[in-house]
Structure 1
Amino acid sequence: MNQPVPANPFHTAALRLSDAPTVRAEGEGRVHGKVILIGEHAVVYGQPAIALPVNSVEAAVTLRLFDAARIDSDLYVGLSDAAPEEVAPVLAAVDAVTQAAGFEKGQVGVTIRSSVPVGRGLGSSAAVAGAIVDAAASVAGLRWNDDERYELIQASERIAHGTPSGLDARTVISDHPVYFQHGQASRIEVGTPFGFVIADTGRPSFTAQALAGVRVLHELDHDMATAAINRLGELTEASRIALADGDVPTLGTIMTEAHGLLTRIDVSSAELNDLVTAALDAGAIGAKLTGGGLGGCIIALAATPQATDALATALTKAGAADVWTMTLEATR
């Protein structure tokens, strides 16, 4: 049965692209994860950051229109009204698409299957929200542009993270590297394929705690913290050039220096440092923590995309709880 078209900006913009939307009973959405290449923490202080899409992990959502809203996920299975606090970001995403797509409130059910690990800095909440958004568009017969998708994802991210920068929401719906500063995202060109390995310490990252620690350090040792943050900004700019030039050695050197700076501002951990050392010992051109820190993952640059499997094996032997390989393809 066709739903009434509501007067809201998301639906109006989408309707221009799909003149006669037809509501279906079921639709699917799939959105990949993300990893921060460089710029974490510094981005909070106005410096740029670069994030990469990670196609080896993804969130898949099937959205259906029921008589009662429900959730089927690894965290919770049952009616939405009885859902625990842990799935509040999911409920926020469902509420956002319910309004934007013109669904009747309380009739949207979602089945979520995600390989994006939770609490590891790979964009789990943003990917799930993005898949919900795309599944809703499929059901409603609409096409939202990337800005509209971003805004809908951010509705969920605000519940998940309080005041999200928007980097995750931009990157999980991007097929290319994202340069992000002051809330604005732009595309980065890539001159040659780059091979990366992401390795999980097995411990969650503690982003809020790490951010708070950097704030305190910024007050107690302002000059040191400011110098580190500014240098991370310079390294991010240099990384953009290295990616565009296809300069693997320079990017690797930048990544390792960035890890040293992040360690200096106390957001690394023994487990992260051990994996960075293991990656470099195994032939990585560079390696660093990624994301909030104090746990979570590292990202290591392999000598070539073909060398990622051997590097992943070495990191597993060194104690990584999980590993993912990815190739960043050339765009020019």
Structure 2
Amino acid sequence: MAKASGKIILFGEHAVVYGYPGIAVPVKDAAVEVSISPSDYFSYETDRELYKEEKERLNDLLELLFFQLHAEKKDMEIKIRSTIPVASGMGSSAALSVALIRAIAEHLGKAIDDKKVNEIAFECEKMFHGTPSGIDNTVVTYGKPVYFYDGEMYFLKLKKPLHLVIANTGIKSPTKEAVLEVRQRYERDREEYSALFEKIGQIAGNAKTALESGETAQLGGLMDKNHALLQQIGVSCKELDELVSAAKSAGALGAKLAGAGKGGNMVALVEQDKKDGVMNSMKKLSKNIIYTEVKP
């Protein structure tokens, strides 16, 4: 069996597409599990609605994986289980790819290191998202916080643990569509959007410093500023704004949408002793709330 955790973007979404930095962290409390057993025929089953709806894409993904692993497609039974909300900015497709790669490689007796897993997962992400940034597959593969800038990725060394509350709007938020919509706006007004992306990039840079020095309180303010800029870009929505407001009112240090926007998830930074209050404040607004700790 192989397991791959989800991820959440703390800073820099959308701006990373235009060369600015971003920060993402693993979410160990949401994951995809893949188990494989011998069978007289090739089959797979899943408990996730998205994968059932997009059976053809999953078939294509499996074909790509066998090709990348230089392996012949053999008879086997694949079972997929997931607790990651789909199309919500938590890296469900990257987690699916990484878990499948590791499970298939293990079943076939093929040794594979994290670097190769990451390379194959990136090819899979292209199938899902067109022109992915590479953040999702890297965070999911290595299970570490990542600072991403200008095509390069660096693992972040946190000074203190992060306590995060993640709430889902229940509205699907496909990354590819949101990125395309922002691209169209950027093409219509390059000066305005370039300025917004630059500000988001500066926030991500400041957040990197705060994470490495343990300035948690400063991080909260940076999240609030990042959310305001994402509102200006036009990727927030009423449901996200209500969740952000509820979290802040309940004592969150900072809160923002996370991922592509227009739905999907938001994330709040909390002090550990206030997590229950923040989670309770959002129960009427979200049916899927996750608490996770990102350890140094």
User: What is the TM-score of this pair, normalised by structure 1?
Assistant: 0.83
Does the alignment pair 1:52 with 2:25?
A: yes
What is the letter of the counterpart of residue 197 of structure 2?
A: I
Give the structure with higher Rg (CA). Answer: 1
Identical counterparts, % of pairs:
35
For residues 259 and 29 of structure 2, the distance between their equivalents in structure 1, rounded to whole angstroms, comes to 17
2: CA distance, partners of 1:320 / 1:234: 31
Q: Residue in 2 aligned with 1:144? A: 112
Aligned: 1:255 with 2:255: no
Q: Which one-letter code corresponds to 1:305 in the other structure?
A: Q
Cα separation, 1, equivalents of 2:85 and 2:124: 17
Q: How many residues align?
A: 295
Distance 1:138 1:61 in 2: 11
For structure 2, list consecutive stretches of 5 or more residues without a partner in the other structure. Answer: none
TM-score, normalised to structure 2, is: 0.93
Cα displacement (A) at 1:312: 1.2
Is the Cα contact below 8 Å between 1:93 and 1:153 reproduced in 2? no
Is this contact kept in 2: 1:287–1:300, CA < 8 A?
yes
2:130 maps to which residue? 162
Q: Given the superposition, is the C-alpha separation of residues 87 and 313 from structure 1 closer, same or farther in structure 2, using an over 3 Å criterion? A: same
Higher relative contact order (CA 8 A, sep 6+): 2
Maintained 8 Å contact 1:32/1:58: yes
Counterpart of 1:42 in structure 2 is 15
| Residue pair 1:89, 1:125 contacting (<8 A) in 2 also | no
Superposition CA RMSD, Å: 1.9
Residue 212 of structure 1 pairs with residue 175 of structure 2: no
CA contact (8 A) 1:199 1:323 kept: yes
**Could you tell me which amino acid in structure 2 is paired with residue 310 of structure 1?**
G
Q: Which amino acid is the alignment partner of residue 275 of structure 2?
A: T
Q: For the structure 1 residues 300 and 258, does the alpha-carbon distance in structure 2 shift closer, same or farther, using more than 3 Å as the test?
A: same
Pairing 1:309–2:276 present: yes
Shift of 1:84: 7.1
Partners in 2 of 1:219 and 1:95 — Cα distance? Answer: 36
Q: What's the CA shift string for 1:221-257, capped at 9, x where partnerless?
A: 3222111100100000111111011111110000000
Amino acid of the residue matched to residue 329 of structure 1?
Answer: K
Matching of residue 130 in structure 1 with residue 103 in structure 2 = no
2:11 maps to amino acid: I
CA contact (8 A) 1:29 1:134 kept: yes
1:223-238 correspondence to structure 2 within 5 Å: 223-238=191-206
The 3 A distance-change label for structure 1 pair 30 and 214 is same
Residues 1:169 and 1:87: Cα distance change in structure 2 (over 3 Å) = farther
Separation (CA, whole Å) in 1 of partners of 2:104 and 2:75 = 12
Structure 1 stretch 187-196 or stretch 95-104: which is displaced more?
95-104
For residues 256-271 of structure 1, what are the structure 2 equivalents within 5 Å?
256-271=224-239
Q: Match for residue 261 of structure 2?
A: 293
Deviation at 1:108, TM superposition (A): 4.0
Residue identity matched to 1:316:
K
Question: Kindly tell me: are residues 230 and 101 of structure 1, through their superposed partners in 2, closer, same or farther at Cα, counting changes over 3 Å?
Answer: closer
Q: Which moved more, 1:95-104 or 1:281-290?
A: 95-104
Query: 2-side partners of 1:160 and 1:108: how far apart?
Result: 24
**In 1, distance between residues paired with 2:56 and 2:10?**
28
Query: After superposition, what is the alpha-carbon deviation per residue over 1:173-215, rounded to whole angstroms, capped at 9, x for unaligned?
Result: 2232011123322100111122110011111114333223322
The residue that corresponds to 1:326 in the other structure is: 292
Instruction: Measure, in 2, the Cα distance between the counterparts of 1:269 and 1:176.
Output: 29
Does residue 30 of structure 1 match 2:3?
yes
